[in-house]
């Protein structure tokens, strides 16, 4: 899909040379949003605010270009799980109907301070739970490459927002692949940083020990430039890493890398054979470029999804207990007692997938079953974490498919939740191990839909990973 703008650097060059003004950039994206209404990408568009900010930047461009902030001219969207002060946020759920954020998420705040213009909030699976955006209370988002097909999830709106040229960079969240899998389905870059690299303050919590804010863009460079601003310690998030943020724009000396891949993944029976061929061609290309690409044993692939769904439903059942009809959003109109308020508000407010996960999570945490499920899944996570990090002591990166197949038809996998869950088999490992990972657009399938592949890097190895992807 061709887009008018492909990188912030080219936008800024044109702005500086006077061949473009910020108002034109914003108008272009607002027009694209109008033209793509049928794809159901946005839940809310901030047209007036965006135009006003564009005007202010154009003024600065004319009067005092030295004062321009680093990300001037950057138009971003935020997934409906990232708070923006005085604006609605509801995790595409009815439970937060009418709720407005009291503060802006740290990551988004830093972007705004650096000059980014926020154009709207994007649709997603309810509370970021899902793999195809069909669990939104506001209807599914559709893939711009073929609107009969899903965009992936849960950050489906964010992926199509970039794919369909309605913003330059989209903020998503990634608990088990929700940035990378939709990026692969939509033919854009999707990046999840190391756990803790970006503050989670102001991100609606799903599985707190897995969640990270991530980015979707047309170029690695735009990912680097926005990450540069968003990353770093935050007094509001104790899990945010204290380690210094490197200068991601600094060139790293090009060198031959050691890359691991798992035959258990590359030869997985569920992997689409055409995708498998593209993956193999990519391996060949890396080898031709002088990199070492080696098969490595990884025995836990089939344990990843079961462990992930035990752990994340457990965390979700606890995190979502705050939506009780008293403190935030929707309150049932016909409840008479406190318990009734809880029960009816939650029954009315949450959709079926979220309810299922709350019940599952409550079950695995209950006294009689905790050891059998939750404690076991924690042990499996530890094994995966240790093995993944051990591999990354010997290798620079791990190469993985992004998804077993291309974007499926809207409505498929609705009857079979397990099939939907298995679509995350290649993305969850990075969240289990807390490591950075990038989905890279790779090819177009003979069915016309995009194919992506994924590279995972060492903990806090964003700089190396981004530099490598940049030079591919």
Site for ligand GLN in 422-461 (CB under 6 A): 424
Among 130, 182, 232, 351, binds ligand GLN (CB under 6 A): 130
DSSP 38: G
Q: Pick the stretch among 60-68, 128-136, 262-270, 404-412 that binds ligand GLN (CB under 6 A).
A: 128-136
Residues 190-249 that bind ligand GLN (CB under 6 A): 206
- Binding-site size for ligand GLN (CB under 6 A) equals 14
> Please, what is the minimum distance in Å from the beta carbon of residue 206 to ligand GLN?
6
Closest approach, Cβ 128 to ligand GLN, in A, equals 4
Using the minimum distance from each CB to ligand GLN, give the nearer residue, 156 or 325: 156
Give the angle 185-187-188 at the CA atoms, nearest 5°: 110
Interacting positions 307-326 with ligand GLN (CB under 6 A): 312
Asked whether position 12 contacts ligand GLN by CB under 6 A, the answer is no
Residue 191 CB, nearest approach to ligand GLN (Å)? 13
Closer CB to ligand GLN, 311 or 466, in the complex: 311
> Given the complex with ligand GLN, which of 166 and 175 has the nearer CB atom?
175
CA dist 49 to 28, 30, 162, 229, Å?
Answer: 15, 12, 20, 22
Active site members: 79, 154, 178
Contact by Cβ (8 Å): 388, 429: yes
Indicate the residue among 125 and 324 with the shorter CB distance to ligand GLN. Answer: 125
On whether the CB atoms of residues 421 and 130 are closer than 8 A, the answer is: no
> Which residue's CB is nearer to ligand GLN, number 259 or number 433?
433
**Of the candidates 36, 57, 123, 175, which one interacts with ligand GLN according to CB under 6 A?**
175
| Choice between 173 and 194, CB closer to ligand GLN | 173
Judge contact between 293 and 286, C-beta under 8 A: yes
- Interior CA angle at 206 toward 111 and 331, to 5°? 100
Say how many C-beta atoms besides its own lie within 10 A of residue 439's C-beta.
35
Q: Among candidates 277, 81, 233, which has minimal Cα distance to 171?
A: 81
- Give the Cα separation of 196 and 213 in Å (integer): 9
Q: Which stretch binds ligand GLN (CB under 6 A): 22-30, 65-73, 123-131, 338-346?
A: 123-131
Q: How far apart are CA 393 and CA 388, in angstroms?
A: 9
Judged by CB under 6 A, the residue of 73, 91, 140, 176 near ligand GLN is 176
Q: Pick one of 77, 178, 226, 241: the residue that binds ligand GLN (CB under 6 A).
A: 178
Rounded Cα–Cα distance for residues 317 and 364 (Å): 10
| Distance set, CA 61 to CA 6, 70, 375, 391, 434 (Å) | 21, 12, 57, 49, 41
Residue 424: CB minimum distance to ligand GLN, A: 5
For the chain, report the end-to-end CA distance as a whole number of angstroms: 20
DSSP 159: H
Smallest distance, Å, CB 158 to ligand GLN?
A: 11
List interacting residues with ligand GLN (CB under 6 A). 128-131, 154, 173-178, 206, 312, 424
């Amino acid at each position: 899909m061709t887009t008018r703008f492909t990188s912030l650097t080219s936008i800024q060059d044109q702005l500086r040379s006077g061949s473009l003004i910020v108002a034109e950039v914003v108008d272009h994206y607002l027009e694209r949003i109008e033209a793509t209404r049928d794809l159901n990408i946005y839940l809310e568009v901030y047209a007036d605010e965006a135009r006003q900010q564009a005007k202010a930047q154009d003024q600065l461009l004319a009067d005092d270009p030295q004062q321009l902030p680093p990300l001037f001219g950057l138009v971003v969207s935020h997934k409906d799980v990232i708070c923006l002060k005085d604006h609605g946020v509801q995790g595409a759920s009815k439970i937060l109907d009418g709720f407005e954020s009291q503060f802006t998420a740290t990551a988004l705040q830093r972007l705004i301070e650096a000059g980014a213009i926020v154009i709207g909030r994007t649709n997603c699976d309810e509370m970021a739970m899902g793999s195809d955006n069909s669990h939104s209370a506001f209807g599914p988002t559709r893939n711009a490459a073929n609107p009969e097909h899903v965009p992936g999830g849960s950050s489906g709106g964010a992926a199509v927002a970039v794919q369909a040229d309605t913003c330059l960079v989209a903020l998503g969240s990634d608990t088990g692949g929700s940035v990378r899998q939709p990026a692969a389905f939509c033919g854009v870059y999707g990046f999840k940083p190391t756990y803790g690299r970006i503050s989670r303050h102001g991100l609606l919590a799903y599985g707190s020990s897995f969640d990270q804010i991530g980015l979707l863009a047309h170029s690695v460079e735009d990912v680097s430039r926005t990450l540069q601003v968003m990353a770093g310690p935050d007094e509001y998030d104790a899990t945010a890493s204290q380690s210094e943020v490197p200068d991601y724009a600094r060139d790293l000396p090009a060198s031959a890398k050691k890359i691991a891949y798992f035959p258990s993944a590359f030869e997985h029976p569920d992997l689409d054979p055409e995708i498998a061929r593209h993956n193999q061609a990519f391996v060949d290309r890396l080898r031709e470029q002088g990199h070492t690409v080696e098969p490595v044993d990884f025995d836990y692939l089939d344990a990843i999804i079961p462990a992930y769904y035990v752990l994340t439903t457990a965390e979700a059942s606890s995190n979502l207990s705050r939506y009780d009809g008293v403190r935030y959003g929707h309150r049932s109109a016909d409840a008479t007692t406190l318990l009734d308020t809880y029960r009816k508000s939650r029954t009315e407010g949450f959709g079926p997938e979220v309810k299922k996960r709350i019940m599952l999570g409550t079950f695995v945490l209950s006294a009689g079953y905790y050891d059998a499920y939750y404690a076991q899944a924690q042990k499996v996570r530890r094994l995966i974490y240790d093995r993944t990090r051990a591999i990354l002591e010997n290798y620079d990166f791990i190469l993985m498919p992004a998804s077993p197949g291309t974007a499926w038809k809207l409505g498929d996998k609705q009857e079979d939740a397990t099939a939907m869950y298995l679509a995350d088999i290649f993305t969850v490992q990075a969240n289990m191990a807390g490591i950075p990972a990038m989905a890279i657009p790779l090819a177009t399938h003979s069915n016309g839909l995009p194919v992506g592949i994924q590279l995972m890097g060492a903990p806090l190895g964003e700089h190396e990973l981004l530099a490598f992807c940049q030079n591919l």
